[in-house]
Chains A and B, each alone.
Chain A
C-alpha cells in the first residue's frame, strides 16, 4: 500500500509557551514492499513522523493517505481500526508487558478481535517457531535476553498480519551482531510482501543492504532522499 504524506506539520503543546514544532512541512511518498529507513539525529522528528503514519497520533495539518484513503482525519475508533489491521509496531524498548508469558504477549494485539482461542494460539505458536522461540513460549517475558525480546516484539507486531511494519529505533538496545540478525529478519519479512518503515541513526541499519531507501531528516524536515 502506497503511503503518501502531503505538507505534514505537527506541533506539540500548541498555543502554550512551550510550543514546539516537531515536523515542519513534510511531503513524501513511501513505496510498498520496500524497507525505508528514516535517518537522523534524535529530535529530528522521525519518530513523530512514524507515529503519525502508524495512526498513533494525528498531524496538526496536512494529509496522510494510505493506498489512496485519507487516514489523518479519522475519529479515534477508526484510527484504531486502521492501526490494528494495517500496522505492526516494534518499539525501541520492545514494550513487552511484564508478567505475561511470551505467548500471551504475542497474542495481545489480537485480544480485542475476539478470535477463536485455539486458532489464535496456533498462529502465535507458528510465529514463535518461525523466529526460533518455540521453547520460550510459556516463559514470562522478563526472563528473555535483549535479542529474544526483540524477536518476540516482531512476532507480536505480526500477529494481526499487518501489511506495514513500523520499527522505531529497533536496534538501540541490541549489539551489532544482534542488529545484523534483526535486519536479516526484516529482509525476510519484506520478501514476504510487507512494507517496512524504520527510524534509526544506527549505521548497522541505514547502511544495511536490506534497506532500499534512506530518507534523512533534520529539524522536522526531509533533507534528501536517496534510492
Chain B
C-alpha cells in the first residue's frame, strides 16, 4: 500500500516535470480550461440559486389569482365577482387586489404599485422598495410626487423603506392605501385589478380552479403551482440559453484540448520508448498519463468551481448583472443564498474532468504497447 502511494507520487513528480517542460502551453491550457469551468459553474450555481430563492419566497404567493379578460386583454374585475364566487368548498379567503404600474419619467423607471388591502391606512403615506429609494435618493420622511390620471400631482410622505433583505421581491414596490390608489389611477370604487383566493388544501386547488373556470367564463386563473413552475422554467431556460451561447467556446476548447491531449509528438513517443526501455511497464505509462490528465482537469475544475462559487454567492454574480439587468433601471441588490444541487455539480465534474482524462490516456495505449526496442534503432 505504502509502495503504491509512493509510486503514485513518483509518477506525479514525473508528470509535473514533463508538463513544466512546455510551461507556456500548459499554463495557457489550464487557464482556458479553468475559465470554461468557471463560466459553466457560475451559470449553474446562479440559476440554481435563483430558482431556489424564487421557490422559497414565492411559496406564500396566493394559491389562485382570478383575472378578468376582456377582448383578450386583462381588464379590471368588478367586486361583485367576489359575490358570484360565493362560498366554495376549500376556499378560506377571497379578496380583491389593487395593483398596477407607475412610470416615473424622472428616472425612466417602472414602479409596481401595490395596495395592502387595509382600508384604514393613511391616504398620504406610502412605503417604497429600496430600489426606488436608491434610484430617487429618497429616505423616510421625504416626499414623493406622483402624477395622477387626471394630471394632478399628489405628494406622498414616505413612512417606510422596505427591508433590503426582501429586495429580490420588493425593489420596485410602491405601497399605498387603496383609497390613494383609486385616486391616483382613477380606478372606480367597486373595481379591482384581480382577485386572490386562498385554498387551504393544495390538493383542492385544481378542483377549485375548475369550478371557477365554469362559473366565471370571462376570467383566467393563475395558480401558485403555475407561478412556481414558471420560475423554475425561466431559470432553467436561461441557464440553457447561456449554455448554448457557451457551446461555441466549449467546443473550441474541446478541439484544442483534444488535440493537445491526444496528439503525441515524436518527442513524446520517444520518451515513452525510453521509459519502457529503462524498466517502466505499459501500465506505469498509462498511470503516468492518467495523472497528467487528472492534474490538469482536477485543478481546472476545483479552481473554476470555487471561483464560480465566490463569484455567485459572494460577489453577487457581478459578471452576469449586465445580462440580467437588460434595460431595467431598478435592479435589486441581492445576495443569493447558496444552494448547491449535488447532481448538477456532479454532472459538471464528470463532463469537465473525465473526457480530458480519457483523451490523454486513450492515444497512449497504442504507443505504449509497442515494443520498447524502438529507442535502440
Asked if A and B form a direct contact in the complex, defined as CB atoms under 8 angstroms apart, the reply is yes
| Measured CA separation A121–B372 after assembly (Å) | 26
| Measured CA separation A157–B279 after assembly (Å) | 10
- State which residues 61-102 of A face B: CB under 8 Å: 76-77, 80, 83-84, 89, 91-92, 95, 97-100
A84-B279, A89-B278 known; A95-B18 Cβ under 8 A? no
The yes or no answer to A116 lying at the interface (CB within 8 A) is yes
| Measured CA separation A56–B370 after assembly (Å) | 10
For this complex, 14 residue pairs linking A to B, each with C-beta atoms less than 8 Å apart, are: A51-B376, A56-B277, A57-B373, A77-B281, A80-B282, A89-B277, A91-B274, A100-B17, A104-B13, A107-B10, A111-B14, A114-B3, A114-B4, A160-B279
Give 1 or 0 for each of B264-296: 1 = CB within 8 Å of chain A CB: 000000110011111111101000000000000
The yes or no answer to B203 lying at the interface (CB within 8 A) is no
Q: Say whether chain A's binding surface is mostly helix, strand, loop, or mixed.
A: helix
B-chain residues with CB within 8 Å of residue A77 when the two chains form the complex: 281
Q: Say whether chain B's binding surface is mostly helix, strand, loop, or mixed.
A: helix
Leading 3 A-B pairs by shortest Cβ distance = A99-B21, A84-B279, A114-B7
Q: Which residue of A is nearest B283, CB measured?
A: A77
* Shortest distance between the CB of A205 and any CB in chain B (Å): 17
List the interface of chain B (C-beta within 8 A of A).
2-7, 9-11, 13-14, 17-18, 20-21, 270-271, 274-282, 284, 369, 371-373, 375-377
B11 touches A111 (CB 8 A): yes
* Shortest distance between the CB of A23 and any CB in chain B (Å): 12
A-chain residues with CB within 8 Å of residue B21 when the two chains form the complex: 98-99
- State which residues 104-118 of A face B: CB under 8 Å: 104, 107-109, 111-117
* Shortest distance between the CB of A105 and any CB in chain B (Å): 10
A-chain residues with CB within 8 Å of residue B274 when the two chains form the complex: 91, 95, 97
B280 touches A112 (CB 8 A): yes
A168 touches B376 (CB 8 A): yes
* Shortest distance between the CB of A149 and any CB in chain B (Å): 13
The yes or no answer to A133 lying at the interface (CB within 8 A) is no
Q: Which residue of B is nearest A92, CB measured?
A: B376
Give 1 or 0 for each of A18-57: 1 = CB within 8 Å of chain B CB: 0000000000000000000000000000011011100011
A99-B17, A109-B278, A111-B14 known; A91-B376 Cβ under 8 A? yes
